[in-house]
Amino acid sequence: MTTIKEEINIRVFVQDYLKHLYNDCPESLIVAKGDVAMTVADWCHRFGGTPKGETNFEFLDSQFKRWDELNGSETGRGRVDDDG
């Protein structure tokens, strides 16, 4: 018999919840990147706005990957991977 904990993939659950917050609560979720902390809505605005057909999560994930590349970050701390 398996326990409930074994049946739930916590990482997938947390990632799905973060996606929900990025997309449905952009004015409330604070995201820190480098020395900057802003709401998801403010980050999206800073990067020029979320393109049509893309979610806030997808848009900011790609922008933060570029940020890491430009700043030479190897760890990508603060980025939410879409790899599950």
- What's the pLDDT tens digit per position in 1-38? 556 666 678 888 899 999 999 999 999 999 998 889 99
- CB-based contacts of 46: which residues, under 8 Å, 6+ apart? 38
pLDDT of residue 84: 41
pLDDT of residue 70: 85
In the structure encoding, which two tokens stand for residue 12, read together? 């997938």
pTM for this predicted structure: 0.71
Per-residue pLDDT, averaged over 49-64, amounts to 96
**CA quadruple 41, 42, 43, 48: dihedral sign:** positive
- Residue 70 CA to residue 84 CA, distance in Å, equals 25
Judged against a pLDDT cut of 70, whether residue 78 lies above it is answered with: no
